[in-house]
């Protein structure tokens, strides 16, 4: 395998949701100066790459992913000068900055869309997808039967007109038309602006959806009771997408030493991802996929009991490895457990009852897999899902509001919906970062948009964990230091990765081959399991328990026990 010559091969990434990270001015909203104030903390943790979720001007209908002006920082987060200072201060500490770049849609308050609504003959009208509705009897129906990601029709009628516009997310986020060269030039200019201001790259939001089925024909897949079809093939990973990304690279990215990471949902395959991220022929550097996020049956689990939610360890291993085998010789890969759109990984694959042990196990498992690891803010202190008592607590998120409406429409009672959202809602990842045990977890002096998780007062906060040498936070710091060791990092990136005992239903174990063999062994269960082991242990680099229980080549792995070993 060829040696990587890029700055991100040595990176450990950290994902920041700015609204809930740190409030510096007491208005209850996290901001850029709050992030800047925590750069020393992040440097000391060991991370050297920040992906910051959207910070551009926005009416915040979808938490900043509805951009109304790409050239202005959201006033709730600060000013353009505050952002310039954040970049300067981060670079002074050896930390790179990725910003979230929303390419698939704008806010309906963006000047382009407002012009498109007011003047159907304008250039901006063709920046979006407007189509006539279908008249059926005395009803005017949407142009197609497509269902969007937020549980509604992907079309919204223009008031006073028989025109509709396309929005595969919320109705306040109309999709832009990447088939239009003039629209593409607008995005090239925006990207250059931020790269020239010192950002080190972009996380490309919803990049899988830039190309649409321009025939605008109905999907022939089975429809729901409202006649809508959720068919991502109409707007995800279509062939034209890869042409658009190559144009973006040729016009912008190839002229800068920048990192570009695409969010590629829509059931993208590893083979399709290479069309984007192949080192020699691709257009971006890495691709985030969702294949390892929901391997516990929680997605769409409204009808399941808690006992039915269990990590499918074999599926989890298979999903990591099919991406590895397809990509590792040809493409860089990001690895992560969760981001701002998912439940907390400790609640997904770990255990609140074994918070300390499972948080450390999950980090060890992730950190030494092939690729660039990304940690979500708060995972380093074992933050977990919420336990809200009212559906009103989920009312600040448009996706949840639409889900509640749909589930009620389908006959589910509120208590069942509440239990389900406490399990799967993305609000779980958007509660305030827990800095200490003072009011509002030290996030703000005023409060927050989403309610703080009450466990901050039970030691799940940064300050308390700093004082405890055996805390999750201190384990993270030590483990990241090991991963950044040049010898270990090279072993992870260039030593061939293989599973150990693939068919074990409870243990995720893998080894990197080479002059120094390193092995991770992780029990994903809240109970002891046995694991057969035929290697000699040269050194224990990481371990989340005291002592080792092994006899006659069989480990007895305690709940969520995990090792990083040097073996021969």
User: CB-hemisphere CA count at 13 Å for 377?
Assistant: 29
Are the CB atoms for 148 and 168 separated by under 8 Å?
A: yes
Q: Is 205 noted as a catalytic residue in this protein?
A: yes
Catalytic residue among 263, 332, 357, 379: 263
Note the pLDDT tens digit of each residue in 191-244. Answer: 999 999 999 999 999 999 999 999 999 999 999 999 999 999 999 999 999 999
Which pLDDT score, from 0 to 100, does residue 2 have? 60
Q: Is residue 155 part of a domain?
A: yes
Q: Which residue has the tokens 């450990």?
A: 12
Q: Is residue 139 part of a domain?
A: yes
Catalytic residue among 205, 380, 393, 397: 205
Cα of 423 vs its chain's centroid, Å: 17
Gyration radius of the chain over CA positions: 24
Q: Kindly report the backbone phi and psi dihedral angles of residue 505, in degrees, each rounded to the nearest multiple of 5, phi listed first.
A: -75, -10
Question: Encoding tokens for residue 153?
Answer: 């029709």
Query: Which of the listed residues 166, 201, 233 is the one where a domain comes to its end?
Result: 166
Q: Is residue 402 part of a domain?
A: no
Euclidean distance between CA atoms 514 and 512, whole angstroms? 7
Residues forming a β-bridge with 555: 531, 550
User: CB-hemisphere CA count at 13 Å for 407?
Assistant: 22
Euclidean distance between CA atoms 190 and 239, whole angstroms? 24
- Please report, for the domain that includes residue 133, its CATH number: 3.90.400.10
Q: Is residue 368 part of a domain?
A: no
Note the pLDDT tens digit of each residue in 495-511. Answer: 999 999 999 999 999 99
Are the CB atoms for 165 and 203 separated by under 8 Å?
A: no
Q: Considering its fold, how many domains does the chain have in total?
A: 2
Q: Is the dihedral of CA 433, 435, 439, 444 positive or negative?
A: negative
Domain that residue 545 falls in: 496-567
Q: Is residue 318 part of a domain?
A: no
- Mean per-residue pLDDT for 311-340? 96
Which DSSP helix (H) or strand (E) runs through 492?
helix 486-494
Note the pLDDT tens digit of each residue in 446-460. Answer: 999 999 999 999 999
Confidence of residue 4 (pLDDT cuts 50, 70, 90): low
* 3-state SS record for 286-318: EEECCCCCCCCCCCCCCCCCHHHCCCCHHHHHH
**Residue 324, burial from CB neighbour count under 10 angstroms (0-12, 13-18, 19+):** buried
Q: Is the dihedral of CA 165, 170, 171, 176 positive or negative?
A: negative
Q: Is the pLDDT of residue 1 over 60?
A: no
Contacts (Cβ under 8 Å, ≥6 apart) of 160 = none
Question: Encoding tokens for residue 349?
Answer: 């694959």
Q: At what angle do helices 181-196 and 239-251 cross, to 10 degrees?
A: 50
Pick the closest to residue 412 from 301, 544, 313, 262 (CA basis): 301
Note the pLDDT tens digit of each residue in 416-439. Answer: 999 999 999 999 999 999 999 999
Q: Is residue 207 part of a domain?
A: no
What region does 297 belong to: left with phi over 0, alpha with psi -120 to 50, or beta?
Answer: left
Is residue 484 classed as helix, strand or coil in its secondary structure?
helix
Q: Is 27 noted as a catalytic residue in this protein?
A: no
User: Which runs of E-coded beta strand occur in 89-169?
Assistant: 96-102, 130-132, 134-136, 139-141, 155-157, 163-166
Contacts (Cβ under 8 Å, ≥6 apart) of 518 = 368, 488, 491, 492, 495, 511, 512, 541, 564, 565, 566, 567
Euclidean distance between CA atoms 464 and 325, whole angstroms? 41
Query: Which of the listed residues 137, 166, 195 is the one where a domain comes to its end?
Result: 166
- Please report, for the domain that includes residue 553, its CATH number: 2.60.40.1180
Confidence of residue 3 (pLDDT cuts 50, 70, 90): low
Q: Is residue 260 part of a domain?
A: no
pTM for this prediction: 0.95
Which pLDDT score, from 0 to 100, does residue 453 have? 96
- Mean per-residue pLDDT for 360-380? 98
Contacts (Cβ under 8 Å, ≥6 apart) of 337 = 292, 293, 345, 348, 349, 362, 366, 376, 379
Query: Which of the listed residues 139, 166, 193 is the one where a domain comes to its end?
Result: 166
Which pLDDT score, from 0 to 100, does residue 381 have? 98
Euclidean distance between CA atoms 424 and 422, whole angstroms? 6
Q: Is the dihedral of CA 20, 21, 25, 26 positive or negative?
A: positive
Q: Which residue has the tokens 């409406």?
A: 405
Note the pLDDT tens digit of each residue in 261-284. Answer: 999 876 789 999 999 999 999 999
Pick the closest to residue 207 from 253, 171, 163 (CA basis): 253
Euclidean distance between CA atoms 479 and 166, whole angstroms? 46
Note the pLDDT tens digit of each residue in 29-78. Answer: 999 999 999 999 999 999 999 999 999 999 999 989 999 999 999 999 99
Are the CB atoms for 223 and 230 separated by under 8 Å?
A: no
Q: Is residue 54 part of a domain?
A: no
Note the pLDDT tens digit of each residue in 123-152. Answer: 999 999 999 999 999 999 999 999 999 889
């Amino acid at each position: 395998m060829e040696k990587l010559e890029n700055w991100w091969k040595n990176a450990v990434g950290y994902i920041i949701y700015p609204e809930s990270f740190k409030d510096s001015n007491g208005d209850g909203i996290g901001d850029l100066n709050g992030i800047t104030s925590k750069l020393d903390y992040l440097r000391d943790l060991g991370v050297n790459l920040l992906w910051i979720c959207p910070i551009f001007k926005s009416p915040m209908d979808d938490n900043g992913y509805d951009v109304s002006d790409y050239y202005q920082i959201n006033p709730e987060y600060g000013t353009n000068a505050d952002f310039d200072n954040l970049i300067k201060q981060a670079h002074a500490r050896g930390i790179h900055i990725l910003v979230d770049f929303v390419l698939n849609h704008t806010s309906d308050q963006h000047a382009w869309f407002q012009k498109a609504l007011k003047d159907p003959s304008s250039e901006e009208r063709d920046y979006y997808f407007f189509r006539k509705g279908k008249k059926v009897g005395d009803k005017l129906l949407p142009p197609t039967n497509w269902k969007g990601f937020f549980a509604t029709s992907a079309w919204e009628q223009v008031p006073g007109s028989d025109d509709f516009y396309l929005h595969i997310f919320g109705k306040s986020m109309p999709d832009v038309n990447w088939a239009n060269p003039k629209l593409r030039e607008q995005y090239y200019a925006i990207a250059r602006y931020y790269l020239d201001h010192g950002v080190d790259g972009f996380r490309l939001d919803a990049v899988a959806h830039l190309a649409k089925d321009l025939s605008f024909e109905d999907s022939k897949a089975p429809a729901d009771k409202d006649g809508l079809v959720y068919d991502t093939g109409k707007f995800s990973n279509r062939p034209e997408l890869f042409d658009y990304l190559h144009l973006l690279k040729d016009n912008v990215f190839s002229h800068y030493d920048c990192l570009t990471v695409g969010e590629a949902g829509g059931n993208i395959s590893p083979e399709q991802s290479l069309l984007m991220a192949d080192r020699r022929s691709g257009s971006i550097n890495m691709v985030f996929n969702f294949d390892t996020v929901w391997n516990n049956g929680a997605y769409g689990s409204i009808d399941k009991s808690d006992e039915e939610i269990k990590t499918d360890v074999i599926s989890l291993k298979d999903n990591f490895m099919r991406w590895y085998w397809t990509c590792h010789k040809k493409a860089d890969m990001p690895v992560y457990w969760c981001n701002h759109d998912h439940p907390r990984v400790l609640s997904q694959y770990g255990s609140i009852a074994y918070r300390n042990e499972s948080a450390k196990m999950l980090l060890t498992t992730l950190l030494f897999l092939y690729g660039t690891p990304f940690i979500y803010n708060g995972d380093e202190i074992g933050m977990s899902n919420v336990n809200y008592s009212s559906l009103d607590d989920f009312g600040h998120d448009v996706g949840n509001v639409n889900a509640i409406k749909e589930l009620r429409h389908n006959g589910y009672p509120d208590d069942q919906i509440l239990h389900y959202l406490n399990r799967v809602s993305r609000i779980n990842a958007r509660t305030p970062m827990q800095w200490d045990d003072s009011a509002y977890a030290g996030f703000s002096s005023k409060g927050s948009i989403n309610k703080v998780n009450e466990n901050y007062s039970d030691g799940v906060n940064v300050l308390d964990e700093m004082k405890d040498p055996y805390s999750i936070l201190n384990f993270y710091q030590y483990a990241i230091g090991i991963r950044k060791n040049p010898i270990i990092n090279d072993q992870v990136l260039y030593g061939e990765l293989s599973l150990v005992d693939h068919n074990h239903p409870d243990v995720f174990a893998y080894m990197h081959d080479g002059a120094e063999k390193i092995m991770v062994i992780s029990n994903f269960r809240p109970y002891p399991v046995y694991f057969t082991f035929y290697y000699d242990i040269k050194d224990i680099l990481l371990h989340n328990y005291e002592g080792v229980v092994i006899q006659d080549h069989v480990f007895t792995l305690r709940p969520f026990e995990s090792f990083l070993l040097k073996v021969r």
